[in-house]
């Protein structure tokens, strides 16, 4: 059991219900336990008594008494910007961990953390994995990528043999990756397939993908599927998206191509003077690798689901989206 903690509410958590805030930070704490702590005044916000449906705001201080919950659950809260700057590699990786066995790690990568190094990057997953080098001197290996601003499921191989099998599964498309996104507007078709050619082009703001013509030099074929899970009026839609191919920025470009760019996308969402950005929604990429179904190197299938990042939890709460209604895939 830990001692009394005083935790500051992060900007990502603005407007989040207190019970949801506790579920994110302390998943091992039951709702009934939380209610009891609130009634007795052991949990307070800025020194005052509150109820479960109170909404927290950035900068507020939540008093958390000693909790009789699993120690690992205590450290599984969202990773904030300060954590990424100052936390140790091994500690941060442990907090990202969704699944572990002798062949595979599955991480829940936070938004804003790069998978591999690049210009001006001081911290990225590939470098951090050195902290988990085995006693045999074997460093875990990346087998696929996520964009820096995209959060969610990231599979890492613990051995060379596992890396070969997992890489082959991605190459042969024997995997099913499911993403959740929030897009501008509502697609006319409830579900559809998007098939285009994509090519990379250099711009003043860095490399960007665009739709290309068949046969254009350097162009790759890209196929995605989507379905609408829920809508907010006719201004926003929650999509479940599946990339059949794995091209750079594929889902982001395909969302733009069908006229419904992903909310908060710094590369592909252009401000429209005739459209008001929803109040209370952060201008951060609303794209999350929610679930993966992949052959396990030792046989059978590995199925893992990643919780939403705080800025998307905040948006889903604001819009009243029901995550339970999405029909979660069965995990292992």
3-state secondary structure 81-118: HHHHHHCCHHHHHHHHEEEECCCEEEEEECCCCECCCC
- Which of 28, 19, 102 lies closest to 296, judged by CA? 102
Q: What is the rounded CA–CA span in Å between residue 107 and residue 152?
A: 7
Sort strands 287-295 and 151-157 into parallel, antiparallel or unpaired. Answer: parallel
Three-state DSSP class for 162?
A: helix
Enter the tokens of residue 131: 């902290």
What contacts 300, CB < 8 A, 6 or more positions away?
A: none
Cβ–Cβ < 8 Å for 254, 220: no
Catalytic residue among 68, 83, 126, 147: 147
- Asked if 147 is an active-site residue, the reply is yes
Q: Where are the alpha helices (DSSP H) in 1-65?
A: 18-25, 31-39
38 CB burial (10 A radius; 0-12, 13-18, 19+): buried
Distance CA 290, CA 156 (A): 16
**What's the token pair of residue 97?**
């961990």
Active-site positions read 147
């Amino acid at each position: 059991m830990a001692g009394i903690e005083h935790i500051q509410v992060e900007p990502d958590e603005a407007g989040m219900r207190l019970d949801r805030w506790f579920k994110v930070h302390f998943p091992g704490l039951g709702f009934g336990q939380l209610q009891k702590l609130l009634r007795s005044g052991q949990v307070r916000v800025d020194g005052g008594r509150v109820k479960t449906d109170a909404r927290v705001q950035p900068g507020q201080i939540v008093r958390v008494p000693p909790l009789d919950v699993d120690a690992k659950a205590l450290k599984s809260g969202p990773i904030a910007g300060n954590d990424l700057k100052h936390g140790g590699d091994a500690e941060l990786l442990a907090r990202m961990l969704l699944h572990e066995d002798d062949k595979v790690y599955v991480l829940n990568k936070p938004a804003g953390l790069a998978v591999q190094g690049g210009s001006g990057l001081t911290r990225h997953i590939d470098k951090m994995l050195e902290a988990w080098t085995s006693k045999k001197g074997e460093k875990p290996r990346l087998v696929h990528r996520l964009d820096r601003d995209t959060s969610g499921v990231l599979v890492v191989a613990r051995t060379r043999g596992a890396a070969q099998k997992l890489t082959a599964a991605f190459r042969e498309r024997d995997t099913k990756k499911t993403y959740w996104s929030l897009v501008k507007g509502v697609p006319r078709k409830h579900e559809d397939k998007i098939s285009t050619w994509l090519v990379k082009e250099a711009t003043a703001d860095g490399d960007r993908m665009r739709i290309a013509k068949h046969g254009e030099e350097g162009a790759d074929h890209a196929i995605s599927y989507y379905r609408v899970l829920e809508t907010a009026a006719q201004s926003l839609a929650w999509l479940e998206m599946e990339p059949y191919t794995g091209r750079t920025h594929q889902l982001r470009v395909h969302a733009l191509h069908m006229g419904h760019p992903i909310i908060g996308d710094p590369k592909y969402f252009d401000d429209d003077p005739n459209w008001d950005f929803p109040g209370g929604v952060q201008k951060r990429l609303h794209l999350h690798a929610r679930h993966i179904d992949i052959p396990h190197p030792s046989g059978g299938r590995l199925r893992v689901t990643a919780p939403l990042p705080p800025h998307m939890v905040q948006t889903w709460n604001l819009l009243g989206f029901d995550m339970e209604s999405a029909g979660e895939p069965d995990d292992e």
